[in-house]
Amino acid sequence: MQTLTRTPTDTTTRPRLLGSWHAHHRSDLATHVAFHGALPIPNAAGEGWSASLGELIRQAGLTGRGGASFPTASKFALMRRSGTARTIVVNAMEGEPASDKAAVLLECVPHLVLDGAELLARALRAQRVLVCVPDVLDRTAQSAAHAIAERSRGALAPVAFDVVRPPSRYISGEESALTSWLDGRPALPRFRPDKSVPLSIGRAPALVHNAETLAHIALIARYGPGWFRECGTFEAPGTCLVTLSGCVEHPGVYEVALGTPVSSVIALAMPSGGVRAVLTGGYGGTWLGCDALNTPLAPAPLAELGASVGAGVLVVLDESACGITETARIAAYMASQGAGQCGPCMFGLPAIAEDFALVAGGAGDTAVFERLAHRFGEVEGRGACRHPDGVVRMARSALEVFAEDAKAHALGRPCEKRTSPSVVAYR
């Protein structure tokens, strides 16, 4: 697994999250404190300080980096209203196979993530922080555990940090699935008709944040919202971590300013051929055709194309690879990764995957597109989580971006492009 990182070629954007790593290639506490300064928590961390932290986050305009881009300050305010939060959950589950940022964060700058978690824990009077690392990522877990051991108690009441290892399935990182597992139940999403009711573990409310979001909080608390907003756009300030893979020379995790055009972002990894399409967001994301690559990498511009930043995944497909075959593979994988709880997803995704396999294999007919269109409508929005919605979005975009190829495949004339090894398989 790659943890390669590079300084972006755009020299006006200095790396922020990965700054201490780029400068020293060390992740220990001393390096971290020398680079960023001590964690700004006053000795009497009371109500006033808690409110001011929330205000800093709000002014900075930070949105969640887990895929939903939900305003972080709103989540913070909701937690403050819900009595005393007992648990902060660091979501480093990295369910997206094509994403590596959680591992990079916890191996290169773990103390930034832990700082963010500690700030929230103190502000919300939480007694424990649970760092969730998938059971297969041992090296990442070790790095997190080592960093936790390094942190001193100080004068404040200790906050208990623990590394826990949920199963590494695609949906284990979904918020409610994660809290279910932490509560001793299977890691399966829950039906949440009212999202304003906070998640809980046992009786205590739990605040779940993506590891990258927490790292940003740690920086905002030190350098302020003004500094944070020096990068990015007005609606989407700051930087974000993207994982570039596919037909590129230098796959890996990069830090870019939000709002940078997608074409500039993928240029960092040096695509090896002519770029045909880019899978944006994740396996449940959207294919962008080569005509859409100047779109800024930010929630609003991407939303106009039915896409989103998602987990910061960008998989580059060049002229030599077959988009239909790759999509069929992703669809089959996603169908196998459902929770098996909701009928439309449990039966609908395999049906969609089968149809895509027919198209990819050149064995379909024109009726298969009608069937797919019908099933997209049947499956979308009818699960407890967004998993089926993502697959529908990805598959729909594939049929648009690779329309010519789809038709040719379906009529029994598959393209001569290479179909193996798979472009999208990253981990």
Partner 1 sequence: MSGTTENASQETRIRVKVDPVACDAYGYCAELLPELVTLDEWGYPVVGSEPVPAHLVELAVRAARDCPRQAFLSEEIAH
Partner 2 sequence: MSSSLLWYTTRATGLVALLLLTLTLVLGIGTANRFSMRSWPRFAQQDLHKRVSLITLVFLAIHVLTSVMDTYVNIGWAAILLPFTSRYDSFWVALGTVGVDVLAAVAVSSMLRNRIPARLWRGVHWLSYLSWPVALAHAFGMGTDMNQAWATGLAIACIFAVVGACVLRVRLAVAERRRTTNLTSLRAASQV
Which among 73-81, 100-108, 185-193, 410-418 is the span making contact with partner 1, rule CB under 8 A?
185-193
> What is the x/- site pattern for partner 2, positions 74-113, by CB under 8 A?
-----------------------x----------------
Q: Which does 330 bind (CB under 5 to 8 A by kind): partner 1, partner 2, none?
A: partner 2
Q: Shortest approach of partner 1 to residue 346 CB, angstroms?
A: 8
Q: What is the dihedral of CA 216, 57, 69, 295, to 10 degrees?
A: -70
Shortest Cβ 190–partner 1 spacing (Å): 7
Compute the least distance from the CB of residue 175 to partner 1, in Å: 15
Judge whether 15 and 8 are in contact, CB under 8 Å. Answer: yes
Does residue 424 interact with partner 2 by CB under 8 A? yes
The closest alpha carbon to 76, from 91, 67, 88, 90, belongs to: 88
Q: Does 383 bind partner 1 (CB under 8 A)?
A: yes
Phi-psi region of 246 (alpha: psi -120 to 50; beta: other; left: phi over 0): left
Q: How far is the CB of 32 from partner 1 (least distance, A)?
A: 42
* Contact characters 344-383, partner 2, x per CB under 8 A: --xx--x--x------------------------------
Of 49-57, 183-191, 324-332, 385-393, the window that binds partner 2 (rule: CB under 8 A) is 324-332
Separation between Cα atoms, residue 375 and residue 223, nearest integer Å: 49
The only residue of 80, 190, 396, 427 in contact with partner 1, by rule CB under 8 A: 190
Contact 402, 288 (CB under 8 A): no
Q: Is 186 in the site for partner 1 (CB under 8 A)?
A: no
Q: Which does 384 bind (CB under 5 to 8 A by kind): partner 1, partner 2, none?
A: partner 1
- For position 49 contacting partner 2 by CB under 8 A, the verdict is no
- Assign 3-state DSSP to the chain and report helix, strand, coil percentages, each to 5: 45, 15, 40
d(CA 191, CA 54): 29
Indicate which of partner 1, partner 2, none lies near residue 386 (CB less than 5 to 8 Å, by partner kind): none
* 242 phi, psi to nearest 5 deg: -120, 150
Among 167, 344, 361, 362, binds partner 1 (CB under 8 A): 344
Is residue 335 involved in binding partner 2 (CB under 8 A)?
yes
Pick from 156, 186, 191, 224: which binds partner 1 (CB under 8 A)? 191
Regarding 196 and contact with partner 1 (CB under 8 A), the answer is no
| Binding-site partner at residue 332 among partner 1, partner 2, none, CB < 5 to 8 Å by type | partner 2
Strand order across the beta sheet in which 252-257 lies: 252-257, 239-246, 313-318, 275-281, 286-289
Task: Report d(CA 224, CA 57) in Å as an integer.
Answer: 9
Q: Residue length, the chain? A: 427
Assess contact for 279 and 422: CB atoms under 8 A: no
Residues near partner 2 (CB under 8 A), total: 16
- DSSP structural state of residue 317: E
3-state class (DSSP) for residue 381? coil
Of 313 and 368, which CB lies nearer to partner 1 in the complex structure?
368
Q: Determine the Cα–Cα distance for residues 100 and 390; give it in Å rounded to an integer.
A: 19
Closest to partner 2 by CB, 119 vs 423, is 423
342 belongs to the binding site for partner 1 (CB under 8 A)? yes
Residue with tokens 């609003």: 300
Residue 386 makes contact with partner 1 by CB under 8 A: no
Q: Is the separation of the CB atoms in 142 and 111 below 8 Å? A: no
| Interacting residue with partner 2 among 25, 336, 400, 411 (CB under 8 A) | 336
| Class of residue 207 by CB neighbours under 10 A (exposed 0-12, middle 13-18, buried 19+) | buried
For residue 280, give the nearest of 262, 264, 294 by alpha carbon: 262
What's the min distance (Å) between Cβ of 311 and partner 1? 24
Residue found under tokens 């049906």: 351
Shorter beta-carbon distance to partner 1: residue 382 or 407: 382
Tokens of 80: 């403050």
Q: Which of partner 2, partner 1, none does 382 bind, CB closer than 5 to 8 A by kind?
A: partner 1
Q: How far is CA 277 from CA 28, 289, 402, in A?
A: 39, 4, 9
- CB 171 → partner 2: shortest distance, Å? 13
Q: How far is the CB of 199 from partner 1 (least distance, A)?
A: 15
End-to-end C-alpha distance for the chain, whole angstroms:
7
Q: For binding to partner 2 (CB under 8 A), which residues are involved?
A: 97, 329-330, 332-333, 335-337, 340, 346-347, 350, 353, 422, 424-425
